[in-house]
Amino acid sequence: MVHLIDGKVLAKVREEELKLEISSLGYTPKVASIVIGSDAPSLLYTKMKQKKATDVGINFEPKYFSSDTPYNELVNFIRKLNEDLEVNGIMIQLPIPDEFLKGKDWREILAEIKIEKDVDGLRYPDSKFLPATARAVLSILDDEKIEVKNKKVIVLGRSNLVGKPVADELINRGANVSVVHSQTPNPKEITLAADIIISAVGKPHLVKGDWIKNGTVVIDVGTSEDKETGKIVGDVDFEEAKLRASKITPVPGGVGPMTVISLMENVLESAKGRN
């Protein structure tokens, strides 16, 4: 019988622990969040982060810039935050709009954030912090007591914000990790050998039931809109996969709620390191 991993429940437990730890710090951690332009998902995600930060006792200060803000004005703002001892973390909501960048590389903006304050891990692998989604995946494995040492783990996706940091961390923890990306031939043959599949691709239902051997743990990071229903779906064909998996995260309600909490855990770590 498959066990559904409830990300909301796991996140709630961590949220209570965070609240306690933050309330005993003796000061209020502070994080600045930069949003450029008016992308609706970016604005929504920033509101969600603000709510969660406030819930756990973090002072969250959003700063909104219009897309026609001069580039140097933003850079100067980040540099001030870098030097501000009260600020423990600096976030920039991605994607940065093209109208603002005017041909510049968005990574140049991220490189302005001091690595000690890059609580989103946007500068991975240079950041001091693991990107929040990667941290969320590892926390789910920890909280569910899923042993990774000497296990065959297949990570689908190799982005700097999810696939790569997840794979790197699992290698550090002694797992035998293979990474599947867009150019990998016959991915099904590879995933069929897995004890644990972690999918971070963004292609609805890419991972079919017959890609999964019986008893596999399946962590689905992907979130895409289903063109027919308009609903948010994962990379994994959940209905097929749950017939074979031993444990599986749903989408929504799996990795998502843990990601926001993981970000707040990074902020706390940064705040604790300020002395």
Number of residues that bind ligand NAP (CB under 6 A): 25
- For 43, the token pair is 């604005």
Give the shortest CB-157-to-ligand NAP separation in angstroms.
4
Does 154 contact ligand NAP by CB under 6 A?
no
Instruction: Please confirm, yes or no, whether 142 is among the known catalytic residues.
Output: no
Name the nearest CA neighbour of 189 among 213, 171, 205.
Answer: 213
CB of 154 to ligand NAP, least distance (A): 10
The answer to whether the CB of 32 falls within 8 A of the CB of 89 is yes
Q: Which of 140, 180, 233, 248 binds ligand NAP (CB under 6 A)?
A: 180
DSSP bridge pairs for 217: 196, 247
**How is 44-57 classified by DSSP, letter by letter?**
HHHHHHHHHHHHHT
Residue whose entry in the numeric block shows the structure tokens 């691709």: 201
When binding is defined by CB under 6 A, the residue of 150, 183, 186, 229 that contacts ligand NAP is 183
Q: Which stretch binds ligand NAP (CB under 6 A): 69-77, 79-87, 141-149, 181-189?
A: 181-189
Residue 139 C-beta: closest distance to ligand NAP, Å: 12
Candidate segments 36-44, 98-106, 113-121, 152-160, binder of ligand NAP by CB under 6 A = 152-160
Does the annotation count 183 as an active-site position?
Answer: no
Nearer to ligand NAP, 29 or 157 (CB): 157
Q: How far is the CB of 58 from ligand NAP (least distance, A)?
A: 18
For the sheet with 196-199, list strands across it: 3-4, 247-248, 217-220, 196-199, 152-156, 176-180
Q: Which of 166, 226, 227 is nearest to 198 (CA)?
A: 166
CB nearer to ligand NAP: give 221 or 236. Answer: 221
Element (H, E) at 92: strand 89-92
* CA 12 vs CA 8, 85, 138, 246: distances in Å: 6, 30, 16, 23
In the complex, minimum distance from the CB of residue 93 to ligand NAP, in angstroms, rounded to a whole number: 12
H or E stretch covering 20: helix 7-23
Which CB atom, from 35 or from 87, has the smaller least distance to ligand NAP? 35
Of positions 109, 194, 255, 268, contacts ligand NAP by CB under 6 A: 255
Residue nearest to ligand NAP (CB): 202
Taking alpha carbons only, the member of 194, 140, 133 closest to residue 166 is: 133
Q: Considering all CA atoms of the chain, what is the largest pairwise distance in Å, rounded to the nearest integer?
A: 57
Catalytic site positions: 49, 93, 120
> Which residues contact ligand NAP (rule: CB under 6 A)?
133, 156-159, 161-163, 180-183, 187, 200-203, 206, 221-224, 255-256, 259
